[in-house]
Amino acid sequence: MRKLYGSLRLCVNYRRLNALAVFDAFPMPQVDELTERIGEAHYISTLDLAKGYWQILVAPADQPKMAFSMPWSLYEFVRMPFGLHGAAATFQRLMDRLLAPHAGYAAAYIDNIIIYSPTWTHHKQAIRAVLSELRQAGLTANLQKCALAKRETKYLGFLVGRGTIRPLADKVETV
């Protein structure tokens, strides 16, 4: 499957495995609540984690459950693949745990992190704190998809900042 920026994503049909798996009811954040938290922030940064799910290790005992075959071999994922119905909940749980100490100035929707601050001094400290947390967890960001210290930026389909939240024009045109 081709991704938005042209690279390819391997997709495996996990319907049968998903049908047998226990549903993970971990709550996903509400997009409107995340965007409203930004409020009157003067500085906003967004971080997009590189290959988000693939940064999560799969327990060795679970790797055979995710095996898939190609004409030339059988493979097992050692990192969390796309297509598992619990993948988003697993990733969100990790992000909520990592960002809990920074809840006053940072939040995440799966692999999309936003950091917001009223002052430049506070923003520099907030970015350092969140990046330190990510580093300790072994998570990396995709620099090409990050925006640092902006007054306004795109986040989850909205333009946020300067005390406003507006849907992106291309999203409105589609509707």
Establish if 4 belongs to a structural domain: no
- Percent pLDDT > 90 in the chain is 52
Asked whether residue 74 is domain-assigned, the answer is no
Confirm whether 6 is domain-assigned.
no
Per the DSSP assignment, residues forming a β-bridge with 159 are 154, 166
**135 neighbors 127 (Cβ within 8 angstroms):** no
Q: Does residue 14 lie in a domain region?
A: no
pLDDT in tens, 121-160: 999 999 999 999 999 999 999 999 999 999 998 888 888 8
| Nearest-angstrom CA–CA distance, 153 and 166 | 10
**Measured distance CA(121)–CA(65) in Å, rounded:** 48
Domain that holds residue 43: 26-55+84-167
Q: How confident is the model at residue 4 (pLDDT cuts 50, 70, 90)?
A: low
CA 109 to each of CA 40, 75, 170: distance values in angstroms, whole numbers, following the listed order: 20, 30, 21
In a domain, 1, yes or no: no
Tally of domains in the chain: 1
- Over residues 62-83, the pLDDT tens digits come to 999 989 888 899 999 999 998 8
pLDDT for the residue numbered 54: 87
Residue 149 lies in a domain: yes
Instruction: Specify the CATH number for the domain of residue 129.
Output: 3.30.70.270
Has residue 5 got a pLDDT over 70?
A: no
Which tokens go with 101?
Answer: 């100490």
How buried is 169 (Cβ within 10 angstroms: 0-12 exposed, 13-18 middle, 19+ buried)?
exposed
Please check whether residue 132 lies inside any domain of the structure: yes
Neighbours of 117 (CB within 10 A): 22
* Residue 1: CB atoms within 10 Å: 7
Q: In the structure encoding, which two tokens stand for residue 151, read together?
A: 């007054």
How far apart (Å, rounded) are the C-alpha atoms in residues 113 and 52? 11
* Residue that is written with structure tokens 């997709």 in the block: 11
Q: Concatenate the DSSP letters of all residues of the chain into one string.
A: -B-TTS-B------HHHHHHSPP--PPPPPHHHHHHHTTT-SEEEEEEBTTGGGGSBPPGGGGGGG-EEETTEEE--SBPPTT-TTHHHHHHHHHHHHHGGGTTTEEEETTEEEEEESSHHHHHHHHHHHHHHHHHHT--B-GGG-EEEESEEEETTEEEETTEEEE-HHHHHH-
The answer to the question of residue 94 being in a domain is: yes
**pTM for the predicted model, two decimal places:** 0.85
